[in-house]
Amino acid sequence: EAQVTQNPRYLITVTGKKLTVTCSQNMNHEYMSWYRQDPGLGLRQIYYSMNVEVTDKGDVPEGYKVSRKEKRNFPLILESPSPNQTSLYFCASSLLATGGSPLHFGNGTRLTVT
Amino acid sequence: DQQVKQNSPSLSVQEGRISILNCDYTNSMFDYFLWYKKYPAEGPTFLISISSIKDKNEDGRFTVFLNKSAKHLSLHIVPSQPGDSAVYFCAALRVYSGGGADGLTFGKGTHLIIQP
């Protein structure tokens, strides 16, 4: 089954403790992206990647890192999480970055930083 | 500065009637507009899109209309069904001449409630 898989689905951590949210897609997609969803703010892009070893900042990159060493994986790294990073995170992928190729989203990771 | 705006946080429509969800944008350089649907505890799923060179795209019960001069698009669902109850996000994308693109810019979403 074609899908985007994020892990974990739920995560509670403390301020300053490094964490990684994994994302993997099995569709051979070139483009991958991370979004966060917050009440009243909709979906905001954190980072995106057009292809392997190519990553770019989105609208809200502060406090996050990503890497794209393989086509299928695009982990999101929080080196020193803070409470304002408590949010619902979505990983997404598409065949290409162009509009004719819609994004496929994972089911989300709900992160709580205390 | 919000480039994609959905000014109605929620919309309630009776089953069988038409649902119209609206979206406004400010960036005239957007090339594609997309609608996504989201159920609780799931990721958004793609619904329908439209290129900026078109004014209408239809797929079954879903039709998207684009008015470039007004920088406005709308999603029509006819007839509305209970399973359509979800949050709908409008999104826009700009494609560059080299083939690359920025990420999708999303609106804040509209919660559609279909009443029996």
- Give the mean pLDDT of A37-51: 91
pLDDT band at B2 (very low <50, low <70, confident <90, very high): confident
| Minimum CA–CA partner of B106 in chain A | A43
B41:A107 CB<8 A? yes
B34:A97 CB<8 A? no
DSSP string, B56-104: EEEETTEEEEEETTTTEEEEEESS--GGG-EEEEEEEE-B-TTS-BPPP
In chain B, residues with a C-beta closer than 8 Å to the C-beta of A99 are 31-32, 34, 49, 51, 93, 95, 101
In chain A, residues with a C-beta closer than 8 Å to the C-beta of B31 are 99
pLDDT tens per residue, range B6-19: 999 999 999 999 99
- Give the mean pLDDT of A94-107: 80
